[in-house]
Each structure stands twice: as structure tokens, then as C-alpha cells.
Amino acid sequence: MKLRTSISEAVYTHFDDVFGDQLQIDVPVDRYTSARVGGMADMFLTVNTGQQLQAAVEMAYEKRIPYFILGGGSNILVADGGIKGLVIMNRARNVRFKHIGSRVICIAESGANLSSLARQCIAKWLGGLEWAIGVPGTVGGAVVGNSGAHGGDMSQTLRAATIWEPGRGVRVYTNDDMKYAYRSSVLKQEHGRAISRRVVISAELELKPEPVEVLMARADGFTAHRKQTQPGGATIGSMFKNPENYYAGYLIEAAGLKGYRVGNVHISEKHANFFVNDGEASAEEIRALLAEAWNSVREQFGVEMDLEVELVGVWDFDQ
């Protein structure tokens, strides 16, 4: 076994002793991201329970190796240079429901698929998560990014989250503690920190009983709207946040960039805030297209857009 990086054999052996076959080295990350780009992860660990997730981050923190939690990979652009340290792919998916009087709380481990969970709630005649139908990724990614659609978002659904804090252990965060704002939270502010990011272990979501026909009709409407307005294929969803009083997609379109291409990636004709990988795109091409869109919008309209997607890993400009 030869490691690509600074991770010592002793550290690898330590993880290997605890996690065995769940641990791999030099794993291409592209297959685990919705954009289908990105280089290798030095160490790649799949965890299947909340306890394993916690044990893995505790071990990484203790050994001072950088760690990155990979949910559905649908809000990240992973560099062609890959990710240094440990990538933890979160497949902790246990879900249970608790009745408190007329209210129902869903307790979901953070690796649960958000859209499937929304469907599961509808099947149980429980409303509150329909907005999440068709939002790719995990509960953890949505809790961190305050994901939302169709007027709903995580800030309106989350009651509390169980969060592991580096060096302090597990704490329960209330909705207020999350400091939610548009596509942002207290955890999202930790972008770029590779050694000491907080980790969502599970989330409590507040639901309320509603007739299943009403929920189904709402979900079908949302799905139809998504189909009509968003392109298929390999994308990361919205690349930029909507600036105040504008839609990022409208600004990019008005800058004349619909269909604009860099190498193997182009700006969708259907929705200009979506960039589509034609099959062989590199992360660097997507980043170059991001820069082009940002610059054009600033030059033409004086608006500086913020990224919605997170740039992850080792970029040429970092070196």
C-alpha cells in the first residue's frame, strides 16, 4: 500500500484497523458528485451509521488530518487536483418518526437522501418537506446549506440538529443556533476549513399531518415546474446565489451567455444559472466558466454575484 500524500502509514493503519473494507485509498471523487468532475481523494471512507460518522471525524480530528464530509456531492465543485486527507462519504441513513400530540417529528441521520425522505413523509400523510422533492443530496448537505425551493427551505422545517463540534463532542443545535439565512447557516460559514469543521450527525424535522392528495398534488406541481425550468444532465444546480432583487440566471442570460461554452461545459439554454458538463469536462473548465459569468455580469450590470456552490480541494491557484 503506497499513499499519495502526507498521510502517514501509521494514520492509515489506524483507520484501517477500525473501518477495514470501508476505507479505500486514491479514490476518484468525480463519480460521487452530480457535476461528474473532480480528482482523487487520498483516503475515502464510507460510513453507514451516525456512530461511524462521529467516530471517523473524531479520529481525523485527533490525528490532525484534514477531513471533508461528502453528502450527495450536489453542491460542490471538486478540483481536478482532488481532495487532500480524508473524504468521508456519508451513508448514515436511518430515519424514524416520533409523535408528540398532534405534531410529528422526523429524526433523520444526515446521510439520508432528502428527496426520498420527502416522498416517505408524503406516503405517511405528513406535510412540510414537499419543497425538497427533486432537490438532490442528503439531509446533512441541506441542513448546512439551508437548501430550499418553491418558497420552502430547511430553516422552516428544521427543529433541531445533532452536531459534532471539533474537540467538544456532540451538541444539540436549535433552529436559532443554526443562524439560518438565504442558502446559509453557521456551518456553511466554515467553508474552506479542512481541519475543524462541524459535522451534522442527524436532524429533527417538524412535520404536520395533511391529506395525502393535497401533498401529492403539491409535489407533482413542484416536479413539473422543475422539469420545465431546469436542464437534465450533469450539473451542480444553481451556481450562484440570487443577488438581492435579481435572479442570477436572468443576469447571466441578459449578459448574453446562454449556451456559452468553455471546453466541455456550457451554460444551459434552459436555465442560465445551470452549467452542464457535456461528458468530459474538467473542474477547471467549470471554474473558468464561473469566472466568465461573474465578470460579464459585473461589467454589464455592476452586480457582484456570490457563489452558491462550494469549491473544494486543491486548485492550481492554491499552490
Ligand X SMILES: Cc1cc2nc3c(=O)[nH]c(=O)nc-3n(C[C@H](O)[C@H](O)[C@H](O)COP(=O)(O)OP(=O)(O)OC[C@H]3O[C@@H](n4cnc5c(N)ncnc54)[C@H](O)[C@@H]3O)c2cc1C
110: annotated active-site residue: no
Tell me whether residue 135 or residue 255 sits nearer to ligand X (CB atom).
Answer: 135
Decide if 165 contacts 171 (C-beta within 8 A).
yes
184: annotated active-site residue: no
Within a 10 A sphere around the Cβ of 23, how many other Cβ atoms?
Answer: 18
Q: How far is the CB of 5 from ligand X (least distance, A)?
A: 19
- CA distance to 98, 99, 117, 138, 203, per residue, from 102 (Å): 11, 7, 20, 27, 20
Tell me whether residue 277 or residue 282 sits nearer to ligand X (CB atom).
Answer: 277
Q: How far is the CB of 181 from ligand X (least distance, A)?
A: 13
Residues in contact with ligand X by the rule CB under 6 A: 34, 68-76, 90, 110, 135-138, 140-142, 144-145, 147-149, 187, 199-200, 235-237, 310
Tell me whether residue 8 or residue 172 sits nearer to ligand X (CB atom).
Answer: 172
Catalytic residue among 109, 206, 285, 308: 308
- CA distance to 37, 74, 84, 258, per residue, from 33 (Å): 7, 6, 17, 24
**Amino acid letter, 174:** T
Q: How far is the CB of 113 from ligand X (least distance, A)?
A: 9
183: annotated active-site residue: yes
**DSSP code per residue over 234-262:** B--S-SBPPPTTS-HHHHHHHTT-TT-EE
The C-alpha cell at 251 is: 443576469
Catalytic residue among 110, 238, 268, 282: 238
Q: How far is the CB of 299 from ligand X (least distance, A)?
A: 27
Catalytic residue among 183, 197, 198, 218: 183
Tell me whether residue 112 or residue 207 sits nearer to ligand X (CB atom).
Answer: 112
User: Catalytic positions, please?
Assistant: 183, 238, 308
